[in-house]
Each structure stands twice: as C-alpha cells, then as structure tokens.
Amino acid sequence: MEVVVIIPNKSGISSCRSKRQGLIAMTNPDTELQPAPDAPAGDRPYAQTLQALRDKGLRPTRQRLALGRLLFDGGDRHVTAEALHAEASKGGVRVSLATVYNTLHQFTDAGLLRQVVVDGGCTYFDTNLTDHHHFYHVDEVRLQDIPGDGITVQGLPQVPEGSSLERVEVIVRVHSDTKDR
C-alpha cells in the first residue's frame, strides 16, 4: 500500500510518496491526520488513539496522536509530563515540554485521563478512569493502583451547599522496608 505524505512549503503544498501504511503524515503539528482511505482498520497505526480523540471531539493532530499512542497503547499507566516528554523524545517524537503539558491537560479536560496530585510539586496523569485509589511509593516516586473496592471511606463530611460530590480519591503513602529512612 502507498500513502501520500503531504509536506507544506513556501509555494503551497507538495507531496511525496512513501511505503508507510496507515496515515497521511503532515509536517504541520496542527494539521489533522487522516487514515489512508484503503488502509484496513485493524492495520492502521494510531487507530485506537485516533478514534478516542475523535470520540471526545479533539482534533487528531500529529502531536496529540503521538502522545496519545504513548499513553494509551500500553495499558493503564501513571505518567508525569516530564516522563512522557522524555519517552516521546527517546521515541523520536519532536514535541516541547509545554506541548506535552497542554496535551495532558486537554486529554484530562476531555475525560481521557485523570489527574492525580500527590503533592504540590508532583502531578501524575492516570489512564485508568475506573473508580480506584493509589499507593504512592515515596522511595520510588511512583503510583500503584488500589482497586476501588479495596478501601472503604466512612464519615465523609457533608458536601457544602450548592456542591455535589464528584469522587473520593485516597492516596496511601508507603516507604520500602529495605530502604534507610
């Protein structure tokens, strides 16, 4: 299968041929990527991420697709913006740290991620949207999921008038027994 790669230049848009399958690639990061018309749905790279972005009304730009694929194609995970930026850079995705932050917040606002604030200086983004809590491994600086039914919270205060309870999140901080404190 052959895909046309469109490359904008000063005189307009020029194209070249590529043997890559699945996507028409654009060099402009704000340009929406489209699947090649004759690519089988199961063989399309980024198909899961592309559909998730479209379902949430987000334009599937090159950068959103690349970051989305890193986030969503490997199962549930917890990442910081800095860790995702390093992973993207290592994988050859050219994206600024500011764009990573903006994209993570856009994904969170769209309901694709959940933001977990461990403390004022440490924020994780969680791909697991089910009801659950977290262990925070202080020595390893990482989160681990606790099933939602693994913790029972009793005695919650009454929600202030004019407000409604969104959810209760519990973060249990743990230290390794083998580390000196």
The answer, yes or no, to whether residue 160 has pLDDT greater than 80, is yes
Highest mean pLDDT out of 24-33, 75-84, 115-124: 75-84
Which residue carries 């690519």 as its tokens? 39
Q: What is the pLDDT of residues 31-76, one digit of tens each?
A: 344 444 444 445 566 788 888 899 999 999 999 999 999 998 888 9
The answer, yes or no, to whether residue 136 has pLDDT greater than 50, is yes
**Whole-angstrom Cα distance, residue 136 to residue 146?**
10
Residue bearing the bigger pLDDT, 96 or 49:
96
Pair type for strands 171-174 and 132-137: parallel
Residue bearing the bigger pLDDT, 40 or 94:
94
73: how many CB neighbours lie within 10 A of its CB?
12
Domains and CATH numbers, the chain: 14-117 (1.10.10.10), 130-174 (no CATH)
The answer, yes or no, to whether residue 23 has pLDDT greater than 50, is no
The answer, yes or no, to whether residue 90 has pLDDT greater than 90, is yes
pLDDT at 159: 93
Q: What is the pLDDT of residues 142-155, one digit of tens each?
A: 999 999 988 988 88
pLDDT at 30: 40
Q: Give the three-class secondary structure for 102.
A: helix
Q: Span 79-106, mean pLDDT?
A: 96
pLDDT at 5: 30
pLDDT at 176: 87
Residue bearing the bigger pLDDT, 172 or 14:
172
